Amino acid sequence: MSVVTVQLGQCGNQIGFEVFDALYTDSHCPQGLCSKRENEAYQASCKERFFSEEENGVPIARAILVDMEPKVTSQTLSKAAQSGRWKYGQHSCFCQKQGSGNNWAYGYSVHGPRHEESIMNLIQKEVEKCDSLSGFFIIMSMAGGTGSGLGAFVTQNLQDQYSNSLKMNHIIWPYRTGEVIVQNYNSILTLSHLYRSSDALLVHENDALHKICAKLMNIKQISFSDINQVLAHQLGSVFQPTYSVEGSCHYRRNPLGDLMENLVPHPEFKMLGIRNIPQMSENSLAYSTFTWAGLLKYLRQMLISNSKMEEGIDWHVQPPLSRLPTLGKASLNRELQFNTSIANLVILRGKDVHSADLGGFKDPALYTSWLKPINAFNVWKTQRAFRKYEKSAALVSNSQFLLKPLDTIVGKAWNMFASKAYIHQYTKFGLEEEDFLDSFTLLEQVVASYCNL
């Protein structure tokens, strides 16, 4: 089954390019560490999911590019075409002349309705190219105007028009110290709307990716390109094919469906995060060897201490001995050390993958009380190595990991809202104070729900 990707805004398009590039590069990586037949099955599966084919054999990404101003999309299209390896469809791009000005209301209320037909038509064309549709993967940032506002609008439309297909929104959480001054407004408006219309929100935080670049990849002058490449690596390690059943050699057909089934048991809890291990520069990779036991030990601790990378982990954090109900909001003020999970999915790729012991993840103490580990925890495997990493493990988790950042954003947006700063910029384009209040209410609910796990 295929995934149709919608890349929105500057961020969405810059990331989208890196993701397809990573998927392609990995699927054509010569060091798969598996048999030729296995490798071919992997490639075919990856292709079915993410690429369609042109007559001359050049793979075309199953994606549409949307932006309200032309600079980024034209760059993205030409970058892909120049690579000579894969490209975007000739008519897969929709752009306008004037951007959304970092204004969620402009993206949602002006650009959305104005270009609804054109954008949905483009999506329809891409869907028709698929034999069978797994769902939509929408890449967008929260801080700007197009990704956030138009992204929320498009997702809503997808819910109406393709009610049987799944939608996963890939959201970029902005730097805490700001890229856009009204980013907190744009974020709460985006999150509240997506919570109603999306099936899952896969979140990447710029701050976390930045730290990985600095500490693990040892990059001195970090660019957005570096950050996007780390992100693409993480996404690739999740979305590339894995075996459908323990011990089989057939690859899963429905990546989005399987992800949702394993990770989103309840619609109140939709926020997913990715952790990946090991992650390092290619130079260091040549000199490193790992055991599954070691990797999984670190990964487990990264989960429970809410660490985003394998360096600087707090090993003192341990699961609570008894699962007493927490005290609601009051507990948020306490140092929220232990990260309670709702559901976890571990994806293992590489050598001796069947010998890996995942007992540590099946401990009921890791999970909230209303789900048994047998339902809350899943593992996917493949012997085919990912991008020169002899062994690599990814963890997709639905846990409290975003609770603090979400609470912070809601708090800051609330302070700004109480002062009425910048509100006139939004009401100018049809948003009312009521709409803001609705968003706040919904998100406070989400915060409370995650807090009470």
Partner 1 sequence: MTQSVVVQVGQCGNQIGCCFWDLALREHAAVNQKGIYDEALSSFFRNVDTRVVGDGGSISKGKICTLKARAVLIDMEEGVVNEILQGPLRDVFDSKQLITDISGSGNNWAVGHKVFGNLYQEQILEKLRKSAEHCDCLQCFFIIHSMGGGTGSGLGTFLLKMLKDEFPEVYRFVTSVYPSGEDDVITSPYNSILAMKELNEHADCVLPIDNQSLFDIISKIDLMVNSGKLGTTIKPKSLVTSSAGAVKKRHQKPFDAMNNIVANLLLNLTSSARFEGSLNMDLNEISMNLVPFPQLHYLVSSLTPLYTLADVNIPTRRLDQMFSDAFSKDHQLIRADPKHSLYLACALMVRGNVQVSDLRRNIERLKPSLQFVSWNQEGWKTSLCSVPPVGHSHSLLALANNTCVKPTFMELRERFMRLYKKKAHLHHYLQIEGMEESCFMEALSSLSGLIEEYNQLDATKSMPVEDFPRLSVAM
Contacting residues toward partner 1, per CB under 8 A: 10, 14, 69-72, 75, 97-103, 145, 175-182, 210, 213-214, 219-225, 227, 328-329, 410-412, 414-416, 418-422, 424-425, 440-441, 444-445, 448-449, 452
1, burial (CB in 10 Å: exposed 0-12, middle 13-18, buried 19+) = middle
Closest CA to 265 of 375, 137, 369: 375
Q: Supply the minimum distance, in Å, between the C-beta of residue 103 and partner 1.
A: 5
Output 305 or 452, the one with its CB closest to partner 1: 452
Q: Is the dihedral of CA 172, 187, 79, 166 positive or negative?
A: positive
> What is the separation of C-alpha 253 from the centre of its chain, rounded to a whole number of angstroms?
19
Residue position matching structure tokens 């094919």: 241
Length of the chain in residues, anyone? 453
Q: Supply the minimum distance, in Å, between the C-beta of residue 10 and partner 1.
A: 6
Output 161 or 427, the one with its CB closest to partner 1: 427
> Is residue 107 within 8 Å of 68, Cβ to Cβ?
yes
Q: Supply the minimum distance, in Å, between the C-beta of residue 214 and partner 1.
A: 7
Q: Supply the minimum distance, in Å, between the C-beta of residue 141 and partner 1.
A: 10
Task: List the beta bridge partners of residue 309.
Answer: none
Q: Supply the minimum distance, in Å, between the C-beta of residue 140 and partner 1.
A: 15
Output 337 or 445, the one with its CB closest to partner 1: 445
Q: Supply the minimum distance, in Å, between the C-beta of residue 448 and partner 1.
A: 5
The CB density around residue 299, as the number of other CB atoms within 10 Å, is 25
Collapse the DSSP code of 345 into the 3-class scheme (helix H, G, I; strand E, B; otherwise coil) and give the result. strand
221, burial (CB in 10 Å: exposed 0-12, middle 13-18, buried 19+) = exposed
Q: Supply the minimum distance, in Å, between the C-beta of residue 14 and partner 1.
A: 7
Strands 63-67 and 51-53: unpaired
Q: Supply the minimum distance, in Å, between the C-beta of residue 189 and partner 1.
A: 14
Residue position matching structure tokens 């950050």: 227
Question: 181: which residues sit within 8 A by CB, 6+ positions away?
Answer: 422
60 vs 288: CA distance, rounded Å: 35
Q: Supply the minimum distance, in Å, between the C-beta of residue 224 and partner 1.
A: 4
Q: Supply the minimum distance, in Å, between the C-beta of residue 321 and partner 1.
A: 25
Output 15 or 152, the one with its CB closest to partner 1: 15
3-state secondary structure 110-175: HHHHHHHHHHHHHHHHHHHCCCCEEEEEEEEECCCCHHHHHHHHHHHHHHHHCCCCEEEEEEEECC
Output 228 or 392, the one with its CB closest to partner 1: 228
Output 217 or 303, the one with its CB closest to partner 1: 217
Output 146 or 301, the one with its CB closest to partner 1: 146
Is residue 8 left, alpha or beta, with left meaning phi > 0 and alpha meaning psi from -120 to 50? beta
Question: 123: which residues sit within 8 A by CB, 6+ positions away?
Answer: 4, 6, 64, 136, 158
204 vs 211: CA distance, rounded Å: 12
355 vs 427: CA distance, rounded Å: 58
Output 37 or 424, the one with its CB closest to partner 1: 424
Output 393 or 409, the one with its CB closest to partner 1: 409
Output 14 or 341, the one with its CB closest to partner 1: 14
Structure tokens at 387: 């991008």
Q: Supply the minimum distance, in Å, between the C-beta of residue 101 and partner 1.
A: 3
Output 290 or 414, the one with its CB closest to partner 1: 414
Output 260 or 413, the one with its CB closest to partner 1: 413
> Is residue 354 within 8 Å of 384, Cβ to Cβ?
no
111 vs 88: CA distance, rounded Å: 23
Q: Supply the minimum distance, in Å, between the C-beta of residue 410 and partner 1.
A: 7
